[in-house]
Amino acid sequence: MTDLKVQLVEEFGAGNIIEAFGELTLTVDSTDIIKSCIKLRDVFFFDTLIDLCGVDYLTYGQSEWESDASSSGFSRGRNTQEKEEHAYANTKRFAVVYHLLSVNKNYRLRVKAFVAEAQPMIKSVTDIWAAADWYEREAFDLFGILFENHKDLRRILTDYGFVGHPLRKDFPLIGEVEMRYDEALGRVVYEPVSIEPNVNVPRVIRK
């Protein structure tokens, strides 16, 4: 791991490498993703893409949540937490994360590239690792991230008429529409949501 970190720092710069929990994370600019991935495959021997996913950093770094509940007595066992700064608290909202494996060197690496929130788009790496095909479709389906030059970028998990991207943090838990089969019409129909939204307590960031 130390040898790999030294080599990555020499190639990409110390400011782009994070080591935590025995794992290395390389952050690259989204415009350089193809060049960086080719270099990782050909120079660093990362021949296998294990996983690719999207990440939504909306509200990330907010250690405390707004609540009317008391932090004392027998209300909910709720304790006030101090605000903490986190590595990605003030950065772009969406990121694409690649998990790579070098079979030859027995190295693993996480690569992260942030994309614009208004139009989240990044070049496809399917020509570098064919395994990225369905992973990129999944990230498009669930997060709305567009992969330029992907040959078949369509939804893979949700229905073809699904509205929105369900793993975005601002996607309503009740969904946007309800779907059912109408026997009279002989087809699937979409209707407004009939259930009331349920507001849950957000997650907390633990070290």
Rounded CA gap, 128 and 170, in Å? 32
Q: Are 83 and 61 in contact (CB under 8 A)?
A: no
**Summary mean pLDDT of the chain:** 86
pTM more than 0.95: no
Q: How many Cβ atoms from other residues are within 10 Å of residue 140's Cβ?
A: 20
Displacement of CA 18 from its chain's centroid (Å): 18
Structure tokens at 48: 């296998």
Name which of 169, 170, 143, 171 is nearest 157 in CA terms.
Answer: 143
Structure tokens at 155: 């939804």
Of the pLDDT bands very low, low, confident and very high (cuts 50, 70, 90), residue 92 is confident
Given a cut of 70, whether residue 73 has pLDDT beyond it is no
Q: Are 89 and 60 in contact (CB under 8 A)?
A: yes
pLDDT digits (tens, 9 = 90+) for 129-165: 999 999 999 999 999 999 999 999 999 999 877 888 9
Rounded CA gap, 84 and 105, in Å? 37
Structure tokens at 121: 């788009």
Of the pLDDT bands very low, low, confident and very high (cuts 50, 70, 90), residue 204 is low
Given a cut of 90, whether residue 201 has pLDDT beyond it is no
Rounded CA gap, 147 and 149, in Å? 6
